[in-house]
Amino acid sequence: MKSVLLYGCETWLVTNKIQHKIQTFVNRCLRYILRIWWPNIISNKDLWKVTGQEDINLEIRKRKFRWIGHTLRKEDGEIPKGALLWNPQENRKRGRPRNSWRRSVIKEAGRSWNELRFLAADRQVERTHRQPMFLEETMDSIIIIIIIIIIIIIIIIIIIIIKTNPATSYIK
């Protein structure tokens, strides 16, 4: 359901109103799936923890920056890259939103467009640029890997002790 809802979100100019409506819909669906109705209440953050979901704004930002990096690494002359790099010089006409998609991306990233292009050119640099936004996920993964390595080492030590102990020589 979520993948259909967020299809093409990389190219949206996401306003607070749109983000709030999408998040409300997702939360309502999650509550329906878990059968949580009034008077039983649960906070949104607890709901996200129980279901393993995250804030919809984070999901959209992840997808947007992944798509920008992918598109900027394309060969010169490809249509998606040309469209992304196109910069009209006129003022926006009367009645049009003042904020454009590119301006929203620059604001979200906190960097200039040229810096984003430079970061996207090297995929490894782009990944390290994205890492601070999702540091908690990375730390959780590292902790799990360390715990698994410690358990494997303990099992190896136990096997060595059992094999070297003459009282348990029947195990070979």
Whether a cis peptide bond, with omega within 30° of 0, leads into 39 is yes
Please give the average per-residue pLDDT across 35-60, as a whole number: 88
Burial class (CB in 10 A: 0-12, 13-18, 19+), 44: middle
* Confidence (pLDDT) at 168: 56
* Confidence (pLDDT) at 133: 46
Helix (H) or strand (E) holding 42: none
Evaluate if residue 53 carries a pLDDT over 70. Answer: yes
* Confidence (pLDDT) at 17: 93
Structure token digits, residue 150 = 């410690």
Residue 41: partners with Cβ closer than 8 Å, 6 or more residues away: none
Confidence of residue 132 (pLDDT cuts 50, 70, 90): very low
Radius of gyration of the chain (CA): 24
Terminal CA-CA length for the chain: 54
Q: Which region, left, alpha or beta, applies to residue 43 given φ > 0 means left and ψ of -120 to 50 means alpha?
A: beta
* Confidence (pLDDT) at 96: 77
Confidence of residue 98 (pLDDT cuts 50, 70, 90): confident
Please give the average per-residue pLDDT across 119-138, as a whole number: 57
* Confidence (pLDDT) at 170: 55
